[in-house]
């Protein structure tokens, strides 16, 4: 399975950050609790990364938080509006509406 790390420049942090890793057609993003956007009730993915994922024919997005693993279709992210809260243009998904959630103990990363 091909593994491809995706990075982008974060203007707020003034550095290049790791967005996540594409494994075949699944994009995996590890997040901490401070990545959760309360105003959006979900997590974001930088727009530049969305475009790379589109070019590489991504099918699903897996977000691994400290307590849960969320799986969404990539199409849900393409349909999400682009917003910028200071870290560059991103698309945000309200996870309660779009994601299948699993507790970390349920999955133990057996999604691959």
pLDDT (tens place) for every residue of the chain, 112 residues total: 789 999 999 888 899 999 999 999 999 999 987 788 888 888 999 999 999 999 999 999 999 988 888 899 999 999 999 999 988 999 999 877 776 766 554 544 454 4
Name the domain count of the chain.
1
The domain of 75 spans 3-107
CA pair distance 95, 9, nearest whole angstrom: 25
Tell me if 99 is assigned to some domain: yes
Return the ∠ at Cα 34 (arms to 32 and 40), rounded to 5°. Answer: 110
Tokens for 72, please give them. Answer: 């969404």
CB 84 within 8 A of CB 40: no
pLDDT score of 33:
79
pLDDT score of 1:
79
């994922």: which residue's tokens?
Answer: 53
Name 74's Cβ contacts closer than 8 Å, sequence gap at least 6: 27, 53, 54, 58, 59, 60, 61
Tell me if 112 is assigned to some domain: no
């Amino acid at each position: 399975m091909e593994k491809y790390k995706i990075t982008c420049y974060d203007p707020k942090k003034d550095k290049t950050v790791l967005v996540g890793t594409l494994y075949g057609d699944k994009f995996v993003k590890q997040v901490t609790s401070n990545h959760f956007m309360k105003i959006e009730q979900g997590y974001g993915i930088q727009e530049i990364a969305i475009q790379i994922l589109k070019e590489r024919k991504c099918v699903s997005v897996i977000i691994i938080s400290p307590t849960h693993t969320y799986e969404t279709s990539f199409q849900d992210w393409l349909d999400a509006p682009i917003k910028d809260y200071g870290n560059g243009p991103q698309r945000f998904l309200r996870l309660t509406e779009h994601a299948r959630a699993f507790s970390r103990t349920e999955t133990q990363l057996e999604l691959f």
